[in-house]
């Protein structure tokens, strides 16, 4: 069985008029199904570049990347959620999901049931007929997550998806997305929040300053499903991990 994600000696530099800008690597990374990998690091350290490479939007300058044994093809295998939901404002909630199902080649007769299923999986079961401007920012981000799941991707990439939300909405969404990396799917999630990283990750990767290399690769072994979210956030184990990750992030910029 090929590894879900396999990056070997990957480096990426952007080409600009002033010359190449090294943004990422060299970096080796393997991710297995079921992992929820959270990437943290200073601004400009190459986190979004890593996601773009994983999504197949950018081909790395050097090194090899494979998803399930083949180079990533944008829109296939991989779902992406950005900081802003980037929905079609003129469509309804269900219409946005329907469009994604069409791109994913889901036959038309199957789309209404799949739409209902996807919306209910993100807690929006009854909002299908609303327009995008008639729902809140947190609900819009839920639609964006449902849309990213439309093609049943094995890999879900999330780039600071909750950064623009208020604290309470953010906590609720964090609790809901923890289960997205179960079964045969993996998630790679970028955040600036160490707290969010420890709460969500089964593994945390801290990137160095640009070009981003792996400064820390830390498995997080918290009893996340066995105890209520509040209890987890208040536990000494959680505080210790948060301290360890925060120190590693500080060390990248000193």
Ligand X SMILES: Nc1ncnc2c1ncn2[C@@H]1O[C@H](COP(=O)(O)OP(=O)(O)OP(=O)(O)O)[C@@H](O)[C@H]1O
Stretch in the footprint of ligand X (CB under 6 A) among 38-46, 114-122, 150-158, 171-179: 38-46
Stretch in the footprint of ligand X (CB under 6 A) among 2-10, 36-44, 136-144, 165-173: 36-44
Stretch in the footprint of ligand X (CB under 6 A) among 14-22, 95-103, 141-149, 240-248: 14-22
For residue 210, the partner it binds in Mg ion, ligand X, none, with Cβ less than 5 to 8 A by kind, is: ligand X
Q: Which stretches within the chain are classed as H helix?
A: 47-55, 93-103, 111-121, 137-148, 167-177, 194-200, 229-233, 236-253
For residue 21, the partner it binds in ligand X, Mg ion, none, with Cβ less than 5 to 8 A by kind, is: ligand X
48 binds ligand X (CB under 6 A): yes
Closer by beta carbon to Mg ion, 26 or else 44: 44
> Largest alpha-carbon pair distance within the chain?
57
Alpha-carbon distance of 166 to 89, in angstroms, equals 21
Stretch in the footprint of Mg ion (CB under 5 A) among 7-15, 24-32, 47-55, 204-212: 47-55
47 binds ligand X (CB under 6 A): yes
Judged by CB under 6 A, the residue of 26, 34, 44, 137 near ligand X is: 44
Query: What values do phi and psi take at 49, rounded to 5?
Result: -60, -40
x/- track of binding to Mg ion for residues 114-143 (CB under 5 A):
------------------------------
Alpha-carbon distance of 97 to 203, in angstroms, equals 30
For residue 122, the partner it binds in ligand X, Mg ion, none, with Cβ less than 5 to 8 A by kind, is: none
Chain positions 171 to 230 lying near ligand X, rule: CB under 6 A, are 210
Check the CA dihedral 125-161-197-234 and report its sign. negative
Alpha-carbon distance of 36 to 174, in angstroms, equals 12
3-class DSSP state of 248: helix
45 binds ligand X (CB under 6 A): yes
Closer by beta carbon to Mg ion, 48 or else 191: 48
46 binds ligand X (CB under 6 A): yes
If you write DSSP's letter for every residue of 187-229 in order, what string do you get? EEEE-S-HHHHHHH-SEEEEE-SSSB-EEEEEE----TTTS-H
Describe the crossing of helices 111-121 and 137-148 by its angle, rounded to 10 degrees. Answer: 130
For residue 76, the partner it binds in ligand X, Mg ion, none, with Cβ less than 5 to 8 A by kind, is: none
45 binds Mg ion (CB under 5 A): no
Check the CA dihedral 94-175-245-31 and report its sign. negative
48 binds Mg ion (CB under 5 A): yes
């Amino acid at each position: 069985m090929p590894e879900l994600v396999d990056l070997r000696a990957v480096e990426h530099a952007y080409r600009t008029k002033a010359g190449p800008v090294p943004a990422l690597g060299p970096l080796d990374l393997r991710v297995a199904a079921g992992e929820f990998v959270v990437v943290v690091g200073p601004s400009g350290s190459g986190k979004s570049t890593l996601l773009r490479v994983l999504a197949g939007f950018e081909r790395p300058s050097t090194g090899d990347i494979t998803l399930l044994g083949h180079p990533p093809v944008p829109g296939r295998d991989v779902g992406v959620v950005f900081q802003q939901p980037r929905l079609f404002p003129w469509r309804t909630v269900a219409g946005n999901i329907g469009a994604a199902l069409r791109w994913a080649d889901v036959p038309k007769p199957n789309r209404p049931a799949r739409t209902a299923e996807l919306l209910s999986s993100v807690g929006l079961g009854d909002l299908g007929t609303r327009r995008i401007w008639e729902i809140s920012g947190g609900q819009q981000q839920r639609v964006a997550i449902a849309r990213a799941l439309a093609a049943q991707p094995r890999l879900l990439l999330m780039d600071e998806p909750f950064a623009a939300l208020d604290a309470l909405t953010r906590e609720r969404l964090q609790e809901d997305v923890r289960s997205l990396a179960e079964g045969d799917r993996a998630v790679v999630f970028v955040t600036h929040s160490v707290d969010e990283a420890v709460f969500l990750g089964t593994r945390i990767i801290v990137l160095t300053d640009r070009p981003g290399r792996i400064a820390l690769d830390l498995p997080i072994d918290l009893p996340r499903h066995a105890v209520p979210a509040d209890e987890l956030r208040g536990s000494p184990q959680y505080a210790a991990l948060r301290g360890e990750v925060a120190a590693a992030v500080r060390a990248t910029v000193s």
